[in-house]
A and B are shown apart, each in its own frame.
Chain A
């Protein structure tokens, strides 16, 4: 199953914020985590992650830092801010409301019920 493009776009921000809420990360690792979480069902163009991350930075929801880890290349790390956690909480409320509404019209929607409780 491939997930609709608009749905992927809408869920990208909360997904990225939620991944960063687990700890700082960088572009490629975030993308890998998205693939893991979605079981490869989200069709993301890799490059598009970066404009999204930059938007979150501009909105003050993440902070960035160029660092060189002990073994490896210099890379840009993203850290979620207090503002970002607030935005994430707000997104969670909205998605919960959406999934509640869908559950009401689709009785017994097992997967959606799980999302609603998360």
Chain B
């Protein structure tokens, strides 16, 4: 029996090394293996024979670990690094395509900048089109990486073309509010469009939508890290070259836009290929910031509920509130996407509920004040855009709060909550698209 225990220990270490298989899975499989060995031994097989047969019956480790990775969407990306020939071939060429697309984005933004003569001139069209200079390359990178067919390439390109047409052919008034709103919402729309190639040319799969949410969060983390590094680099460069008489501002004009554009693709590539690092970092970040935001939101909700929103409320504050609500939603969504789906409710879920309910209270107060103001002063583009965003957020938060309560009281599975969020994603995309395409028409480009 000594040798059987050794064999099982070796087997356990081997299985534990497979991507997608967690410690609990190994324990469960080992239990199975031991039952099987016991039964085969009782039927007269020698211990080592029984071991071999039992292992064989469990199935080969590659396909098994792929099944585990497929089921546990949090570990889904590990499929990419499984010992699969097709995937391996792509892995080696991965950074080349990333560099090509990043360089293309860097060149595109530079051409646009020279054409617009930024920063000496600051023409509106340059800022309005900013997303269109960069995000097509990110979408192209994913379309290429996921090996989309011609039809999917066309379906990816069409929204970009439509967005470009709308934003450049609309006859904007001077100092147009709708122009600023459309310019600010277009990158959001394009980001959602990019989900299509990211998800491999489908939009239906809820699991992949969750992957896209996770990707967005991790991309943001990498982008911020790259931006910080870039900031240090530029600061040091300025400090070193300035005394030598170099025109540092000119250099920054060239380096900064290209670096910022190229980093969009590079960050995406890092998310795709360096997943393990972020996977360790992301839950930690979520665990630090979710409670902090929950405390801040709860304090804000209580304060404003006591004092009322009336005096403090102005346009700037609305933007702050909206930004806050979006951040909370992003944090909740990201936390959910990084969560082990089968785990039972824990304290993090409760804290998330506090954050969501506080955000809901704030949102209701903002909405109430906003509707009163619209009643007094009528609709303007800015008020309409803010009202719409708040309504879209309100419905989402209300649904999330309701389903969280049901989950925490054990009346429904976390799956329902995830479904709600992934089903809701198109609502955000559609609202942003409406601000770009429809709102200017309604307000005659004012």
Contacts and interface: CB of A to CB of B under 8 A. Distances in A.
Interface of A: 26-28, 31, 45-48, 50-52, 54-55, 57-60, 64, 73-76, 83
B208 interface: no
Given A58-B415, A60-B413, A73 B58 contact: no
Contacts of A51: 64, 67-68, 70-71
B31 A27 contact: yes
12 contacts: A28-B36, A31-B32, A50-B28, A51-B67, A55-B71, A58-B342, A58-B415, A60-B413, A64-B342, A73-B31, A75-B28, A75-B31
A48 B65 CA distance: 9
B32 A28 contact: yes
Contacts of A83: 412-413
A27 B27 CA distance: 12
A57 B413 CA distance: 9
A55 B35 CA distance: 23
B59 A46 contact: yes
B25 interface: yes
A81 to B, nearest CB: 8
B12 interface: no
B43 to A, nearest CB: 13
Of B34, B35, B36, B58, the most chain A CB neighbours within 10 A belong to B35
Contact of A57 (B57, B342, B412): B342
Contact of B29 (A50, A55, A73): A50
Given A51-B67, A58-B341, A46 B32 contact: yes
Contacts of A58: 71, 341-342, 413-415
Contacts of B68: 50-51, 54
B342 A48 contact: no
A27 B413 contact: no
Question: What is the predominant secondary structure among interface residues of chain B facing chain A?
Answer: helix
Nearest to B24: A76
Interface of B: 24-25, 27-29, 31-32, 34-36, 57-59, 63-64, 67-68, 70-72, 341-342, 412-416
B59 A47 contact: yes
A45 B58 contact: yes
Contacts of A59: 413, 415
Given A46-B59, A47-B29, 20 more contacts: A26-B31, A27-B28, A28-B32, A28-B36, A31-B32, A45-B57, A45-B63, A47-B59, A47-B64, A48-B59, A48-B64, A51-B64, A54-B68, A60-B413, A60-B414, A60-B416, A64-B342, A74-B31, A75-B28, A76-B28
A43 B342 CA distance: 28
B72 A54 contact: yes
Nearest to B36: A28
A83 B406 CA distance: 13
A59 B25 CA distance: 18
Contacts of B24: 76
B24 to A, nearest CB: 8
A27 B32 contact: yes
B214 to A, nearest CB: 16
A30 B70 CA distance: 22
A64 B343 CA distance: 10
A29 B130 CA distance: 60
A28 B36 CA distance: 8
A64 B28 CA distance: 12
Contacts of B63: 45
A10 B31 CA distance: 26
A25 to B, nearest CB: 12
Nearest to A76: B28
A83 B25 CA distance: 24
Contacts of A50: 25, 28-29, 32, 68
Contacts of A54: 25, 68, 71-72, 342
B28 A46 contact: no
A28 B410 CA distance: 27
B29 to A, nearest CB: 7
Contact of A47 (B58, B72, B413, B415): B58
Contacts of B412: 60, 83
Contact of B415 (A46, A48, A60, A64): A60
